[in-house]
Structure formats: structure tokens, C-alpha cells
Amino acid sequence: MKQGQVCRWLLLGVLGVAVAGCSKGGAGGDVFTETGQDPPLGDGADGGSSGDGGEASPSEGETVAERVSDAIPPVAAGTLRVGTQTVTAEMTAPLLGMALPELKDRLFVVDQVGMLWRVNLADGSKEPYLDVSSLLVPVGIEALEGYDERGFLGLAFHPQFATNGLLYTYTSEPVSGNADFTFPKLGSNCTGAPSGLTPDHQNVLREWTVSNPLDLASRPQATSRVVMRMDWGNYNHNGGMLAFGPDGLLYVSTGDGGGEDDQTCQVNGDKKPTIGHSPLGNSQDTRLIYGKMLRIDPTQRTSANGQYGVPADNPFVKDARYLPEIYALGLRNFWRFSFDTPTGALIGGDVGQITIEEVDVIRAGGNYGWRVKEGTAAFDTQAFELDASGETDGIPIQLVPGYPEGLTDPIAQYGHEHEKDEQGSATIGGFVYRGTAIPALSGKYIFGDYSSSEESSPPKGRLFTLSDLTDDELRGSVPGQLHEVQSLTDKPIDLHVLGFAQDANGELYVLGNESGIPKGQTGQLRRLVAP
């Protein structure tokens, strides 16, 4: 490895993969040495066999992270274009829309502050369908000027909703009773740490019942059933996307538990020390719920808490080293994902840290790399590159596509910047287009980015697609490859992008607001249209 880094390859038996551990100039030791992991097995090979990529040394004033970002191809202009048409407005922070095949002219829109709206797509009118605001922690963190990643985050209708009336929500709630899953009790010795390690909140998966599901006058019953309760040590990286797959099972994304580098004692965005991270990193710790894609059957009762079922064909169900609910691991904050109906592919965006955003196709048993890798780059949690605020972060140090074996690379990635040009800050997963209104988009994966500048005013949300992604690749019948990210607009749109929606006819929508925070009434649902 270059730049005077002392690098060694470690074998983490619990993962079954070789993992790179590096430190700058030998200072601080190897990444996992201080955390009690296995000792180095020897120096790793340098050069092409390790996926070195041959990146040049940083120029004067250029950081290692910038060098890695500049080595990634920039977001391309592309040739496809879309416009947006406002369907409804005056929401707060709409972040997800779900459709029902039996109600083709309606879309159910999740608002982060606790309201589930039912929107009439024909005339743009909306009405409250379910209000969960009383269940939530107060949303909007004063220290972050109102920014927050907690709230009403996920919704899924059971595939037989028309007959059984079941729907599911994912909400950030005050601590209430014992959780089914909790974090490692680490962090009490961090500088500025609280006296205890009380969770910031609990993320709760709930089941609701609608007595007359297709009656437009009917609403969910006032009480719900708690399916799963998870302690969360920090305010952020909650995941929270829910979706039923073509197998009729419920898939649940969980973030790595919050903070930076997936490790304890880093200073979080709210200026509090991060608590509750495993020495392995939560996303790579197979006995923790965090940083995973879960797969459960909420109508069965075989789980440890007796509130859901664990499918017998989950990939790790017979391996005692893993939680049986885990379908895939190594995710940082797989914020939004979707299933593509024709191919069955599970595809979405994993939000990066400070440098790289990525798109992944999730397969059973896959390990998607975090915190060993960010995108296709090796990630060093102890590089501690000083940023302008005086805080320190781990950084991606070198592109190593396809390496080490045992980790699955994304199908697309882009840097926050390319040669100082802003490109994005947080990827927002979308859908493969299967509608008819914009024929040029047929079969294209449509996704976006929160904003090309996190503090931009007006906002600069981005709409993207991928080059040459085929149905065969989505099905997994041909090898995956790294696809070029292409812009769908000539300039950013005037919203912070928070989510996407697909209606019952396959048409796509973007959701967002002007402020980028769960405050005010600037939230909108916009339909993608031909330019």
C-alpha cells in the first residue's frame, strides 16, 4: 500500500473473510489490534493483485479521501432527462410512498413527523390515514438546527392486505420496556459521555389492523402490536425501510447504530460521544441487529420474543455465530430500497460517510463491506484525517474493487465531490422504472441524492440513473459490474430529496422538502414526467 501506510491483512474468523487494516505511518497500530482482534497474519500484497487501482499520490494540499474520491468516475451528464410535476404539497418531511394494487389512484405517503397521508393521485387531495406522532420521540434536534434522522421512517402493507388488513410501521420511540435487541454497553469512558449508557431511543416495528381494508372510510385500529423493539444508542443511522419481497416475507433495513466510523467514542453530529458500537463495528458483528438487512415473517410466532417468525431458509439460520434474522450484513444506513417486480431484485442505496455513496443489489448472505470498505475503497477507522472543524474521521484510503474476497461491492458509486465539484451527500434509493409514461426510462434504475450540498439554500437535490443495468444482472443470472451514475436533470432540483415512490401503475415520484429537516410545511410529492 502507498503513502507510507503500514498495512497488514487480518483474518477475522467470525467473518470468514480477509480484511485490510492500515494505519498512517505506523501510528496507532493496526486497525483491529487495539480492539482485541486476531493478530496480523503478514503483510498483504501491494499492487494489482490487491486491487490497488494504481492511484497517484495526493497532490499538494489534497487529502487521501479526496484522492480516492477523484479516482471514482464523476457523475455523468447522460442523455436521458426527466421533469417533475407537483401532485400534492404542504407536508413536513415526506420520505416514502407506498401503493396498493387495489387502489390504483391512491398513494400512501409517510411524513417523518408521524402522519401517514392517503393521497388522491388524480386531484392531489390528501387526507390523514394514520397518525403515529404520539408514539414518537420529539423530532427535530436543537443542536442540529432541527435536523433529525428519527421519526416515522417505514411502512409496508402485507401482500394480503386486501383480505387481512395488516400493515407495518417503523417508528423511533422513547425507551419503553426491555428491547428485543440492544447494543454493546460500550462508551461510558468516552470524553463527555453520560454517566450511563441509556439508549437515545428505541426503533419499533409495529403491526396495525384495518377492519375494512379497501373501504376508503376505514382506518387502522387505535391499538397496534409490537413485533420488534430495538435499542438505539445514538440518534442517527436508523435504517427503517420496510418492504415485503416476492416471497411474501418482510425485509427490514437497520443502520449501524449511529455516529462515525461505526465505532465508539467518536463525536457524533449532535456533539455527543457515540456509544454502543462493537469492537468489530456493529455492521460486521454477526450477533448484533445493526447494519443489517433482516428477513422475517410477521404472521408467525417462532422468534425468541414470540412475535414473529424466522424463515427456515434464512441464510444464517443454522449458524450459531449469526442472529437468525439476518439476511445480509455490512450495511451502513441502507435508507431506502425496493423490490423490482419482474426480476425480484432487492436494490437500494447505502448512505456513505464522508466520501462515497453506493447502490447495492442485496443477495441472501451477502456482506456489503461496511466498515471494512466504503464503496469499493478500503476504509481505515484509525486514519483520523483532521477536518476543518478539528474533528477526526476514519477515511477511505485506496480503491480495492473486488478485494478482499467475501465482500460484495456495489453496482454503482459516486463521490461527494469530484475535483472539488459537489456531487451529493447522501444517496436515496429508488425504483426500477416499469411505467409507461416515460418510455425512455423503461428498465432503468431511478434514484437520487439528498442534496449536492448538505447546507445549500436553495436545496440541490439530485435525480440519477445507472448506465447499462440489465434485467439479467438484476436477476443474478449474469455477473454484476460497476455502472456509471448519470444525472437525469441539467441542474439539481429545488428540493432536498428524502425518498421515492412507485404507484400501482409503475409510475415514479420523488418526495422531499425545501428545508431538509422535519419542520415546516414545504414537503411535496412530485411525479416524474417527460421533460
Q: Which pLDDT does position 35 carry in this prediction?
A: 33
Q: Which pLDDT does position 37 carry in this prediction?
A: 34
Domain assignments of the chain as residue spans, ordered by start: 63-375+410-529
- Is the separation of the CB atoms in 106 and 113 below 8 Å? no
pLDDT in tens, the chain (531 residues): 333 332 323 323 323 333 333 333 222 222 222 233 332 222 222 223 333 343 434 554 578 889 999 999 999 999 999 999 999 999 999 999 999 999 999 999 999 999 999 999 999 999 999 999 999 999 999 999 999 999 999 999 999 999 999 999 999 999 998 999 999 999 999 988 776 799 999 999 999 999 999 999 999 999 999 999 999 999 999 999 999 999 999 999 999 999 999 999 988 989 899 999 999 999 999 999 999 999 999 999 999 999 999 999 999 999 999 999 999 999 999 999 999 999 999 999 999 998 999 999 999 999 999 999 999 999 999 876 554 444 567 899 999 999 999 999 999 999 999 999 999 999 999 999 999 999 999 999 999 999 987 665 778 999 999 999 999 999 999 998 999 999 999 999 999 999 999 999 999 999 999 999 999 999 999 999 999
40-73 burial by CB neighbour count: b if 16+ within 10 A, else e?
beeebeeeeebbbeebeebeeeeebbbbbbbbbe
Task: Give the whole-angstrom CA distance, residue 88 versus residue 150.
Answer: 24
DSSP string, 84-126: EEEEEEEES-EEEEEEETTEEEEEEEEETTTEEEEEETTT--E
Task: Give the whole-angstrom CA distance, residue 475 versus residue 469.
Answer: 11
Strand-pair partners of 508: 502
How many other CB atoms are there within 10 angstroms of residue 480's CB atom?
A: 16
Cα-Cα-Cα-Cα torsion 517, 396, 184, 38, nearest 10 degrees, comes to 170
CATH code of the domain made up of 63-375+410-529? 2.120.10.30
DSSP string, 305-372: TSSSB--TT-TTTT-TTS-TTEEEE--S-EEEEEE-TTT--EEEEE--SSSEEEEEEE-TT-B--TTT
- Is the separation of the CB atoms in 417 and 489 below 8 Å? no
Task: Give the whole-angstrom CA distance, residue 502 versus residue 433.
Answer: 8
- Cβ burial of 111 (10 Å; 0-12, 13-18, 19+) is buried
**Parallel/antiparallel/unpaired status of strands 166-173 and 201-209:** antiparallel
Q: Which pLDDT does position 193 carry in this prediction?
A: 78
φ and ψ at 204, to 5 degrees? -125, 130
Q: Which pLDDT does position 388 carry in this prediction?
A: 47
- Is the separation of the CB atoms in 239 and 257 below 8 Å? no
Which grid cell sits at 390?
Answer: 478539528
Task: Give the whole-angstrom CA distance, residue 255 versus residue 232.
Answer: 10
By C-alpha distance, which of 121, 228, 216 is closest to 168?
A: 228
Q: Which pLDDT does position 169 carry in this prediction?
A: 99
Instruction: Enter the pTM of the model.
Output: 0.90
By C-alpha distance, which of 279, 290, 294, 231 is closest to 257?
A: 290
Compute CA distances 325 → 185, 301, 312, 389, whole Å. Answer: 22, 13, 10, 40
Task: Give the whole-angstrom CA distance, residue 29 versus residue 419.
Answer: 31
Q: Which pLDDT does position 61 carry in this prediction?
A: 52
